[in-house]
Structure 1
Amino acid sequence: MVTLPVVNAASLAHEAVKPRSWHVEDLIPGNTVTLLNGDGGTGKSLLALQLAVATCSDGYWAGRKPEQGRVIYLGAEDDIEELHRRLVDICADAAIDLESLHDLDIVPLAGRDALLAVPARKTNVLEQTPLFSRLEERVSDFKPAFVVLDTLSDLFGGEENQRAQARQFISLLRGLCLDHGVTILLLAHPSLTGMSSGSGLSGSTAWNNSVRSRLYLERIKDSDGKETDTEMRVLTTKKANYTKTGTEIRLNWHQGVFKAAQGKSSLSDIAAQAKAERVFMSLLAAFTREGRNVSESTGHAYAPKKFADDSRAEGVTRNEFKKAMSNLFAKGAIQMETVGPASRHTRRIVAVQTRE
């Protein structure tokens, strides 16, 4: 028999108001499900594993300190060897011993049946699988504060475009959160439409509507859709019921881990900078082929002015080219070179040749 839970509002008058809990403040609310979307190969699994380690080792993640506690990382994409390699890099960066991670359980399901829920036969109703029951038993015994589920396409046996099934699956996971006081991070790939629109959505909008928070990890691309910095990502809050949306965290990949970048440039600013650097390098190559030298010094060969006046500038301004030139020098992508005889030598900007 189904009972109807009823709470009379007046009965709450003398109850203390519990503060809202956060696993990661302003990003991942506690005791519920957060969805993390990210294109394939963007690094969402690595970022989630870094959060798992930070949670159980009193560390930091994306410049923030998560709530501490035990963690279960259920991964259906990467095998234990790959997870081992990533953990070594993460521990090296955090200056901790892998041997100390007693509070992190790994459940490697790559190549195995990882479905947690499937539609009941000839119905649109989801039912949990025996694997879900085993997961819930482990949650009950191990008592983690945080669970990572990687990824939705491997764990959900229904149709992603089915609104009712999407809501049922999130409801099933939220029940796990509420019953055991755990926070869940569910990883998912966006659809092609979600990637092109920048929303990061996948399948039915019910996925977005059913969770209380949704994050999107994406690459930095300029206005023409071209990626210029393969080591940079931006983590954005696309949905946040309990705080503002649009929060952006810049992340740099370095030696196997993501680190929060300095500065608070917006995604549009970063994209504009990326475009300016790409066009600068393109025009530098074109000018070099044409035998036209440019310099970093103001004058008739000043690169930012020459490039801004060129018909191939793609709308990039002189000031944008100036900033791009400074950034490219700092990155070691360009350098100054002396050419010509000693009596008439000149200096010009050249691209630094990288080794394959």
Structure 2
Amino acid sequence: MSAPVNINDGAHVDADSAAAEELDAGQDAAALSTSADEIEFDGDEFIPFDDIDFCRPITPKKWMDTVSAPQRWLAEGRVPSDDVTILAGDGGSGKTEIACQLLIYVAAGIDDWLGSAIENGPALFISCEEPQDNIRRRVECISKHVNIDAHGLDDLHILFPDLDDTWLVHAERDGRLSKTSLLKGVEAWIAAHRPRLVVIDSVAAVFDADAISRRQVRTFVAMLRKVARKHGVAIVLLDHPSVRGMTDGTGTANSVDWRNSVRSMMLLSEPDKEDDPDMRVLRFTKNNRGRKDQKLTLRWAGLTFTTEAEAAASPHRTARLRSVRWTSSSCGCSTSGSLKAVRCTPRAPRAARRPSLLSIRKRTA
């Protein structure tokens, strides 16, 4: 029998050489008796490799005689379908506004959003921060901007959870995340309606866990990515960046794994808040499947934001829209009589839904 090992005084182990050789021989025999397609658990249980669902690597041969699926985009080159995108922006910067704009354009059949071609179809907005009246005002004003009837947007769906029941996940005592009934209900709705876009406002309102925990952040984003891939939907998460995230231009907050776990990220900022309060800059700070560091200059046009190029193409209309003042009218805004040509009309055929710049100039002449 071998002498006991004394860790404290650093004594050498006086092991019996014959016993050691016998042990080594036994281990070698066990290794030889294990098949290449078997894996050992707990030292005595062998499970066929093919029975382990979570560990099945492939070789490139599997791709032979097949064509890889092309990348699908909700917004060409900016927001991928089948995945999760983060839209970050400081409070009050307008991120909810441009997210609502994207939702409306997708649901209304408008094929362009801020200069990017987009897919069309059902869209779901999960609003966990703003009250219904605020969202209604946004929807009606954006619709008025593009000359469509907001009340005819049958493909736009908006969910307003109770403010004390907005969580999509909860953290358990062991650190694992569990889905809430709200997330399960949203998944069921997505499976039934197959939307093209889901926007969630915001991370702080739906993530009931530690926002700086790498494990929990990556698990939550993975949950959403699985939903996106399974149902072919683009999911956009709205988030508030930290002061550092705004300063360094990354838009990150809490753990860097929020940014690292998604495939695409946008940051909305106000670079000249004092001298030009109508201007915003939308930067595409991460894009794993397209061009990154794109930058768009946006300008408030009275009813919503538009690209600076579009505003410059119709300066008279932009100037008149900028004079909009909030009232209690149906869409929450009112202007001088000269703007009455820009009116809400019943939903038009797709080809006629978005007015051309030429028609805008004629109406505002």
Same fold (TM over 0.5): yes
Q: CA deviation at 1:2?
A: 6.0
Give the Cα–Cα distance (whole angstroms) in 2 for the partners of residues 163 and 227 of structure 1: 37
Counterpart for residue 255 of structure 1: 302
Q: CA deviation at 1:30?
A: 1.2
Match of 2:113, SS state, is: coil
Match of 2:225, SS state, is: helix
The residue correspondences of 1:230-269 to structure 2 (distance < 5 A) are 230-262=277-309
- Identity among equivalent pairs (%): 31
Counterpart for residue 126 of structure 2: 74
Counterpart for residue 30 of structure 1: 81
Letter in 2 for 1:53: I
Letter in 1 for 2:136: H
Point out the structure with max Rg over C-alpha.
2
Give the Cα–Cα distance (whole angstroms) in 2 for the partners of residues 18 and 138 of structure 1: 26
With a CA cutoff of 8 Å and minimum separation of 6, indicate the structure with the bigger relative contact order: 2
Question: Is 1:158–1:165's contact at 8 Å kept on the other side of the alignment?
Answer: yes
Cα RMSD over matched residues? Answer: 1.5
Counterpart for residue 53 of structure 2: 3
1:28-53 deviation per Cα after TM superposition (whole angstroms, max 9, x unaligned) = 11110000100000010011010000
1:258-295 deviation per Cα after TM superposition (whole angstroms, max 9, x unaligned) = 101119xxxxxxxxxxxxxxxxxxxxxxxxxxxxxxxx
The residue correspondences of 1:284-323 to structure 2 (distance < 5 A) are none
Counterpart for residue 207 of structure 1: 258
The residue correspondences of 1:1-356 to structure 2 (distance < 5 A) are 3-4=53-54, 5-59=56-110, 60-109=112-161, 111-120=163-172, 122-221=173-272, 227-262=274-309
Give the Cα–Cα distance (whole angstroms) in 2 for the partners of residues 72 and 38 of structure 1: 20
Question: Is 2:195–2:233's contact at 8 Å kept on the other side of the alignment?
Answer: yes
Q: CA deviation at 1:56?
A: 1.1
Give the Cα–Cα distance (whole angstroms) in 2 for the partners of residues 183 and 261 of structure 1: 26
Give the Cα–Cα distance (whole angstroms) in 1 for the partners of residues 133 and 207 of structure 2: 24
Letter in 2 for 1:243: G
Counterpart for residue 354 of structure 1: none
Name structure 1 gaps, 5 residues minimum.
264-356
Q: How many equivalent residue pairs?
A: 258
Match of 1:262, SS state, is: helix
Q: CA deviation at 1:198?
A: 2.3
Question: Is 2:88–2:240's contact at 8 Å kept on the other side of the alignment?
Answer: yes
Q: CA deviation at 1:197?
A: 2.2
Match of 2:269, SS state, is: strand
Question: Is 2:124–2:198's contact at 8 Å kept on the other side of the alignment?
Answer: yes
- What is the TM-score of this pair, normalised by structure 2? 0.68
Give the Cα–Cα distance (whole angstroms) in 1 for the partners of residues 175 and 274 of structure 2: 41
1:328-353 deviation per Cα after TM superposition (whole angstroms, max 9, x unaligned) = xxxxxxxxxxxxxxxxxxxxxxxxxx
Question: Is 2:199–2:237's contact at 8 Å kept on the other side of the alignment?
Answer: yes
Name structure 2 gaps, 5 residues minimum.
1-50, 311-365
